[in-house]
Amino acid sequence: MSDSLIRYAGLGNPKKQGLPVQLAAARLHHLVFTERWLMWLCAAHLVSVPLRELKLLLGRAQFLASERCTALRRRLQELRVPKVRIDSVPNDALKLAMEEAIHCQTATESASVAHWLHDQLVKAYERYLQGTNPLADAPSCDLIKSHLPHLREIVSSLEALRQDLGSDTSVVRLEKFFAAAGGLDATGPRAQEILERERSGTEYQIPKSSGESSERMVWDYIKPPLEDVADHFVYMLGIRLSEINVAEGLAVVLYETRDKPWEFYHDLSRHLWDELRHSMMGEAAIEARFGNAEALPMREYERVYSMEAPPLEQYATLGIEIEGGQMRYPVGKRGEWEFCRDAVKDPLMTLFQDYDWADEVLHVNLARKQLTDWFPGGPKDLSAFAQQGRVKRTEVKERHPPVKLSVPDSPE
């Protein structure tokens, strides 16, 4: 057996000269900053890109970036970095580069920039592992190694989508900005010239459009009674599929709400990703049941409300009124799970509803935790504010009549 596998707990060469704490922390600080901006970039652009696969992938990417950012922030505190410094800008040139990067103008550009940034992150993390001492800095090494497989998966998926979307030269424009910063980790040579802003003279604004084709949307669904099992099941599948609209709204909340503690963004990022997972659950269940993932249209009114409502109102309405109301039994999330299990007897959707129920409990708790302190009167004021938001949501819902979903033909 190799000596390197059994000595020093299999960590590697403990006698190589690695990074001292100050330099290790400086590199990780740059990567924390990059991950935070990457989360915002992916969340911002999933709203308006027209390709569903790209929306979903950007949604997963923003969540994984927030997870890496959270883990690295904890590690920085272990490396004697005060929390206030962790939230600071490590490099003005890197900040400018990320501000330029977020100004993508097309879906192709969004995919290309996201791919390039993720690929550069892989290289930066690999440089860190090569440069640090695997024994002295074992917690950092273990953390990075645990996240690299998912990061490489995102790179591969974005590359496949980028090739499908066609060539794009946007990265060439950005390379000079990141070169001026010495790269994502500031380890490279820095260009001496002072760069002028190109697109970031004004802050990036999310286009308030989902990019989805209107042919695949209806305004709202008529809700059949539980006794009409087939019709009610189709209605439930449509609701799950349409949760991508909720995710897009949360992406707006995540990007447009500024100057909050990091924990707020991390919780929102998780909530956003869960809503995309729920939409994919609906998609997978529709495809399994009817042989065609596009057998049902999505409903549109919730997206319209999400794009029109102020971020605070939208999040409070969703987390407190809508999802909070779904905790009530009978029916509610437990009732949906029982319906799929006992009435429909659909094993896949029963499984999905079980996890959907668990996720929604989490979301209500996250919303209460994050929002209560925003209101002087605490939970009472928050509840009143959320109820007002629900009234506005209902007003949007009633702009057009709902339609009855027909049960698609099942595959032979």
Q: What is the CATH number of the domain that holds 82?
A: 1.20.1260.10
Q: Cα(316)–Cα(388) distance, rounded to whole angstroms?
A: 10
Domain of 315 in residue numbering reads as 214-397
Per-residue confidence band for 129, with pLDDT thresholds at 50, 70 and 90: very high
pLDDT tens digit sequence for 153-206: 999 999 999 988 887 888 999 999 999 999 999 999 987 777 999 999 999 999
Q: Kindly state whether residues 168 and 280 are assigned to the same domain.
A: no
CA distance 136 to 21: 9
Tell me the mean pLDDT in the region 99-106: 96
In a domain, 202, yes or no: no
Per-residue pLDDT at 210 exceeds 60: no
Q: Does some domain include residue 205? A: no
Tally of structural domains, the chain:
2
Residue of 362 and 407 predicted with greater confidence: 362
95-117 mean pLDDT: 96
pLDDT tens readout for residues 293-352 = 999 999 999 999 999 999 999 999 999 999 999 999 888 999 999 999 999 999 999 999
Instruction: Say which residue the tokens 């029963």 belong to.
Output: 350
Which residues lie below 8 Å from residue 127, measured CB to CB, with a gap of 6+?
A: 185, 187
* 110: phi then psi, degrees, rounded to nearest 5: -60, -45
Q: Residue 222: which CATH number? A: 1.20.1260
193 occurs within a structural domain: no
228 in the same domain as 375: yes
- Confidence band of 281 (pLDDT split at 50, 70, 90): very high
Is residue 178 a contact partner of residue 184, using CB atoms and an 8 Å limit? yes
Confidence of residue 412 (pLDDT cuts 50, 70, 90): low
**Residues 367, 231 share a domain:** yes
| Pair (388, 283) in one structural domain | yes
253 in the same domain as 124: no
Residue 187 lies in a domain: no
Please, which pLDDT band fits residue 1 given cuts at 50, 70 and 90?
Answer: low
Asked if residue 411 belongs to a domain, the reply is: no
Residue 215 has pLDDT above 70, yes or no: no
In a domain, residue 207? The reply is no
Phi, psi of 88 (to 5 degrees): -85, 165
In a domain, 359, yes or no: yes
Cite the beta strand spans of 128-263 per DSSP E: 217-218
Average pLDDT over residues 49-71: 97
- pTM of full prediction above 0.75: yes
| In a shared domain, residues 236 and 311 | yes
pLDDT interval class at 273 (50, 70, 90): very high
Residues 77 and 222 in one domain: no
Residue 168 sits in the same domain as residue 232: no
* 245-247-253 Cα angle (round to 5): 110
Q: Is residue 121, in this structure, part of any structural domain at all? A: yes
148/118 Cα distance (integer angstroms): 10
CB 217 within 8 A of CB 300: yes
